[in-house]
Amino acid sequence: MRALLEEDVDVIFGMPGGAIIHTYDVLRDYPIQHVLCRHEQGATHAAEGYARVTGRPGVVLITSGPAGTNAITGIADAYMDSCPLVVFTGQVPTNAIGNDAFQEANIIGMTLACTKHSFLVNRTADLARTVKEAFHIARTGRPGPVVVDLPKDVLMGRATFDGYPRTVSIRGYHPTENGHMLQIKRAAEKIARARRPVIYGGGGIVHSGGGAEVRELAELTRTPVTLTLMGLGAFPGTHPLWLGMLGMHGTYQANMAMSEADLIVAIGARFDDRVTCKLDEFARDCEIVHIDIDPSSIKKTVKVDVPIVGDVKSVLEQLNRQLAEVDQDWAARHAGWLETIEGWRQEHPLSEQTRGDGEFIRPQQAIAEIYNVTHPHDPIVTTGVGQHQMWVAQHFHFDGPRRLVTSGGLGTMGYGFPAAVGAQAAFPDRLVIDIDGDGSFQMTCQELATVRQSNLPVKIYIINNQYLGMVRQWQELFYDNRYTEVDLEVQPDLVKLAEAYGITALRAERPDELRSVIERSVEIDGPVLVDIRVAREENVFPMVPAGGALKDMLTDGGDIPDGYSQR
């Protein structure tokens, strides 16, 4: 506990059990808030939410065996999305390890593939050093989760506390911060020569705190910007140079700009399959500059012309200084390119999707209305995974980083609500809203007890279409409307469910109710659940079908081109 205080830990998410009970006994004597979650997966997602909005490692404290295995989904999610976590798991005593003791699980072995590092502490005297190294690894370089496995006898042992280590030195672990100047000069030269450049950014911008430097680069060179789902907010969503999100459900102008660009400046992104789509068609006639602190992400998927390994913020500071010295009329050079992009934007405006039909609430309309009501409060927004997640990305405009908290790489249903718990614990006075699907919400809805017990005023908006919506969309478009096991019409009355936990609940079923219900939910002091009943079979467009190139977008529900049926 003294080591955690040295790391400025103020909130822990978890649940006690036999192997970790001694630590919970000691926790009573220390000024650290503990949020009692109802499931270990919920605790890890809550810690992710805390980490994503603060930039500091989220901390999880759970027991052994099934507690550790329950947490693996959240650990894997954090690994995919570069989220710093330190997960403390109880373990059976050292002399019982390997003997199939009660509630024993090899959590170190199970998490090897989804952690930056794992520690099994064998001596009480090693606890302070291990905590120091765990937090250092979690937060530096490309952030990620670290597991610290704590045998019960080690926790109950005694050792002299010789003070918390001031420094840490781990052999073989020395992340590169500053970029190579020769490579930075080469990047500046390519940017100066480009006629159709695009800045493509990801979550690495947010992790490094490099949003201001990206904006400086874009405004200096008059270069349009598109971001991945994990990067949203790193560049203002209302800026004239903003293209919107790119990829499988990206905006028309973002995907077309990426397809027609002659230079892509990739910053803190990893060219995942949801962005590149058909890989052999991606950036075929385009040069690429790639900036990333993780050298394993560079050239892993696509050919890169100028690789730069380093912290995004530091590298961009160096790059912007180089470009400031270039004698170039950037506005004139890129005027034609920006005019072309504006034509694409006008050709396929997303705003058309938010118009209601008077009878049913369209989900896009619901998202837009939540944005209209809440954006003056500068809310933190979390989401589950599925159609509603993509509609939030398309219709919510984030003007700053750490406002959107969502599961990108792993795509974990059930993520949104507990992540909102963590975000609200980090900022008790901020408006935190979870925009969720009925399918995602039902996976972790037991955390309603957590917000009630911990007095966390999270606002929960369920975009309720009574389907596993994204799977249904694929079955409609690519499997001849053969809906199989996606109907969630049998579900609890979500208003009554919330009320059973002592939480205020509202419902909107008609377009004329929508705004007033959302406004009322924001005004209520305390947690609120809003069940928004939407049109059941609305689809997310644009959409790049599986196997298609970025420019092969479906922009409406018309006929699917030949060759895309999955049957």
The whole-angstrom separation of Cα 208 and Cα 214 is 11
The highest-level CATH class for domain 350-533 is: alpha beta
Question: Which residue in 152, 183, 213, 313 is the catalytic one?
Answer: 152
Exposure pattern of 195-223 as b/e (b: 16+ CB <10 Å)?
ebbbbbbbbbbbbbebbebbbbbbebbbb
Pick the closest to residue 6 from 165, 133, 160, 134 (CA basis). Answer: 165
Question: Does 363 have pLDDT greater than 80?
Answer: yes
Question: Which residue in 1, 6, 103, 328 is the catalytic one?
Answer: 103
Residue 547: what pLDDT?
Answer: 87
Residue 441: what pLDDT?
Answer: 98
pLDDT digits (tens, 9 = 90+) for 181-209: 999 999 999 999 999 999 999 999 999 99
Mean pLDDT of 224-248: 97
Residue 562: what pLDDT?
Answer: 67
Pick the closest to residue 39 from 21, 64, 68, 15 (CA basis). Answer: 15
Does residue 198 contact residue 257 with C-beta atoms inside 8 Å?
Answer: yes
pLDDT digits (tens, 9 = 90+) for 299-343: 999 999 999 999 999 999 999 999 999 999 999 999 999 999 999
Confidence of residue 359 (pLDDT cuts 50, 70, 90): confident
Q: Given phi > 0 = left and psi -120 to 50 = alpha, else beta, which region is 358?
A: left
Based on the residue annotation, tell me whether 152 is a catalytic residue of this protein. yes
pLDDT digits (tens, 9 = 90+) for 269-298: 999 999 999 999 998 889 999 999 999 999
Same fold for the domain at 2-156 and the one at 350-533?
yes
CB neighbours (10 Å) of residue 410? 17
Mean pLDDT of 365-373: 97
Question: Which residue in 33, 102, 303, 499 is the catalytic one?
Answer: 102
The whole-angstrom separation of Cα 520 and Cα 181 is 55
Largest CA distance in the chain: 73
Based on the residue annotation, tell me whether 102 is a catalytic residue of this protein. yes
Cβ burial, residue 426 (10 Å; 0-12/13-18/19+): buried
Residue 512: what pLDDT?
Answer: 94
Q: Mutual orientation of helices 312-324 and 181-193 as an angle, nearest 10°?
A: 60
Based on the residue annotation, tell me whether 13 is a catalytic residue of this protein. no
Question: Which residue in 13, 15, 40, 258 is the catalytic one?
Answer: 40
pLDDT digits (tens, 9 = 90+) for 31-85: 999 999 999 999 999 999 999 999 999 999 999 999 999 999 999 999 999 999 9
Beta strands at 287-292 and 528-533: parallel, antiparallel or unpaired: unpaired
Q: Which residue has 């006690």 as its token pair?
A: 16
Question: Does 356 have pLDDT greater than 90?
Answer: no
Residue 353: what pLDDT?
Answer: 84
Q: Three-state secondary structure along 191-218?
A: HHHCCCEEEEECHHHHHHCCHHHHHHHH
| Mean pLDDT taken over the chain | 96
Mean pLDDT of 534-539: 95
Which residue type sits at 365? Q
Question: Does 567 have pLDDT greater than 70?
Answer: no
Mean pLDDT lowest among 165-174, 365-374, 520-529: 165-174
The whole-angstrom separation of Cα 458 and Cα 529 is 8
Confidence of residue 561 (pLDDT cuts 50, 70, 90): low
- What percent of the chain clears pLDDT 70, i.e. is strictly above it? 98
Domain ranges of the chain: 2-156, 181-347, 350-533
Residue 355: what pLDDT?
Answer: 82
Q: How many CA atoms lie within 13 A of 305 on its CB side?
A: 19
Cβ burial, residue 182 (10 Å; 0-12/13-18/19+): exposed
The structure tokens listed for 48 are: 């992710």
Intra-chain end-to-end CA distance of the chain, in Å: 57
The whole-angstrom separation of Cα 284 and Cα 566 is 26
Based on the residue annotation, tell me whether 453 is a catalytic residue of this protein. no
The whole-angstrom separation of Cα 23 and Cα 240 is 52
Cα–chain-centroid distance for residue 416? 10
Question: Does 560 have pLDDT greater than 80?
Answer: no
Q: Which residue has 């995602």 as its token pair?
A: 440
**Alpha helical stretches, state H, 81-158:** 107-110, 127-139, 152-156
- Is the sign of the CA dihedral 395, 396, 401, 406 positive or negative? negative
Return all residues near 558 (Cβ < 8 A) that are at least 6 apart.
none
Exposure pattern of 99-128 as b/e (b: 16+ CB <10 Å)?
eebebbbebbebbeebbbbbbbbeebeebb
Based on the residue annotation, tell me whether 245 is a catalytic residue of this protein. no
Residue 457: what pLDDT?
Answer: 98
Question: Does 210 have pLDDT greater than 90?
Answer: yes
Q: Which residue has 């390119």 as its token pair?
A: 337
Residue 558: what pLDDT?
Answer: 65
Which listed CATH number (3.40.50.970, 2.160.10.10, 2.60.40.3080, 3.40.50.300) goes with 2-156? Answer: 3.40.50.970
The whole-angstrom separation of Cα 4 and Cα 23 is 12
Question: Does 563 have pLDDT greater than 70?
Answer: no
Question: Which residue in 256, 470, 543, 553 is the catalytic one?
Answer: 470
CATH code reported for the domain at 181-347: 3.40.50.1220
Mean pLDDT of 458-480: 96
The structure tokens listed for 278 are: 């058909």
Q: Which residue has 């503990």 as its token pair?
A: 34
